[in-house]
């Protein structure tokens, strides 16, 4: 089955370890991720100002690309892109005045009214494949791998785009259970990593990372599972800073959820690009007998 797919800029460069295992895994699960043609940067953040319509043009153009292909659904992997595209889509669906303005500004494009449904790959796994069916496809159960789900912000906030319960999400826990891993709940799982503050306040970022790692560690986690390339960068860089400053700080591995998916499905670990990860994922996986 073919599924229209929007990768976004970061997945093609810094986060190949998020994208490549996803594409390979979905093929095993019967879905071909078809990149939409001529996609452009989504703008990374949704425009929050009432009068700022120009920044809606970029995400809406991507939605139009999907509609042109006759697709009624657009799958995303990057949590930032998911949020920006889904919010822009809601704007086009619900605000008639702004929809008309944007459509007439883009008069070279077909009219768009929010017809395409924006979904995150985790929703496809949960709602279209199902945890039971996924569990049946697992060839290498991730037994005894104690992983804490870290959601960050953009898959859950604001409420109207959330892929799960805003206060108490379980989608990543259920995903990890289907793969045979041991999920570790911890209270900081939906706390912001600091996001774009990395370019203006990097010291604050390492403070946020400290709180997140300490909380996960005290609840028994050996690794964090992530969905967002900026969470990965901030937590990874934050961890490096913490290790420089504090000898006692224990390094924790960071995984993208798609890497654990590919590993559990028995795919060649090379597709996971663990060499791009922060921490020492290889040694943790070898210790658990999950990697040779």
Partner 1 sequence: MSVTISPKRLRREFVRKVKELSGQNLQLCYQCGMCSGNCPATSNMDLSPRQIIELARLGLEEEIANSKTVWICASCLACTVNCPRGFDLSKMMEAIRLLTLRKNIDYIRPEDISPQERCELPQIAMVSGLRKFTG
Interface residue list for partner 1 (CB under 8 A): 8-10, 13-15, 41, 43-45, 48-52, 55, 78, 80-81, 153, 156-159, 166, 191-192, 194-201, 204, 207-208, 229-230, 232-233
Cα gap 99→29, rounded to integer Å: 37
Closest distance to partner 1 from the beta carbon of 137 (Å): 30
Closest distance to partner 1 from the beta carbon of 287 (Å): 28
Closest distance to partner 1 from the beta carbon of 123 (Å): 19
CB neighbour class for 245 (10 Å; exposed up to 12, middle 13-18, buried from 19): exposed
Question: Which of 31, 39 has the CB closer to partner 1?
Answer: 39
Question: Which of 14, 219 has the CB closer to partner 1?
Answer: 14
Cβ contacts of residue 160 below 8 Å, gap of 6+? 87, 90
Question: Which of 175, 233 has the CB closer to partner 1?
Answer: 233
Question: Which of 51, 275 has the CB closer to partner 1?
Answer: 51
Closest distance to partner 1 from the beta carbon of 215 (Å): 12
Closest distance to partner 1 from the beta carbon of 76 (Å): 12
Question: Which of 31, 278 has the CB closer to partner 1?
Answer: 278
Let me know: does 76 contact 119? Beta carbons within 8 Å: yes
What is the crossing angle of helices 257-264 and 16-28, to 10°? 40
- The CB-based long-range contact list for 245-248 (8 Å cut-off, 24+ gap) reads none
- The continuous run of DSSP H or E covering 88 comes out as helix 79-94
Where does 48-78 have alpha helices with state H? 57-68
Closest distance to partner 1 from the beta carbon of 163 (Å): 14
User: How far is CA 6 from each of CA 15, 120, 190, 216, rounded to the nearest angstrom?
Assistant: 14, 10, 24, 31
Question: Which of 69, 214 has the CB closer to partner 1?
Answer: 214
Question: Which of 151, 274 has the CB closer to partner 1?
Answer: 151
Question: Which of 28, 198 has the CB closer to partner 1?
Answer: 198
Beta strands per DSSP E along 61-104: 73-76
What backbone torsions phi and psi does residue 183 show, to the nearest 5 degrees? Answer: -70, 145
Counting every residue written for the chain, the total comes to 292
Closest distance to partner 1 from the beta carbon of 236 (Å): 10
Radius of gyration of the chain (CA): 19
Closest distance to partner 1 from the beta carbon of 59 (Å): 12
Peptide bond into 12 cis (omega under 30): no
Let me know: does 29 contact 134? Beta carbons within 8 Å: yes
């Amino acid at each position: 089955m073919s599924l229209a797919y929007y990768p976004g800029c970061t997945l093609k460069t810094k986060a190949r370890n998020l994208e490549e295992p996803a594409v390979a895994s979905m093929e095993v699960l019967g879905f071909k991720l078809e990149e939409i043609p001529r996609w452009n940067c989504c703008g990374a953040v949704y425009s929050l100002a009432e009068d700022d319509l120009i920044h809606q043009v970029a995400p809406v153009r991507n939605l139009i690309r999907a509609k042109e292909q006759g697709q009624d659904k657009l799958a995303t992997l990057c949590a930032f892109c998911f949020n920006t595209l889904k919010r822009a889509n809601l704007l086009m669906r619900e605000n008639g005045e702004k929809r008309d303005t944007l459509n007439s500004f883009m008069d070279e494009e077909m009219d768009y009214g929010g017809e395409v449904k924006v979904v995150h790959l985790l929703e496809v796994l949960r709602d279209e494949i199902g945890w039971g069916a996924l569990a049946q496809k697992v060839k290498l159960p991730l037994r005894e791998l104690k992983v804490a789900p870290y959601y960050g912000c953009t898959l859950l906030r604001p409420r109207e785009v959330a892929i799960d319960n805003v206060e108490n999400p379980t989608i990543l826990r259920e995903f990890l259970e289907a793969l045979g891993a041991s999920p570790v709940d911890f209270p900081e799982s939906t706390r912001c990593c600091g996001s774009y503050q990395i370019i203006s306040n990097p010291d604050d970022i390492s403070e946020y990372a400290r709180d997140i790692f300490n909380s996960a560690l005290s609840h028994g986690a050996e690794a964090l599972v992530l969905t967002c390339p900026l969470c990965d960068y901030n937590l990874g860089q934050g961890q490096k800073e913490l290790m420089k400053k504090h000898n006692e700080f224990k390094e924790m591995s960071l995984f993208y959820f798609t890497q654990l998916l590919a590993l559990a499905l028995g795919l060649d670990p090379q597709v996971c690009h663990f060499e791009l990860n922060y921490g020492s994922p290889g040694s943790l996986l070898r210790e658990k007998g999950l990697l040779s």
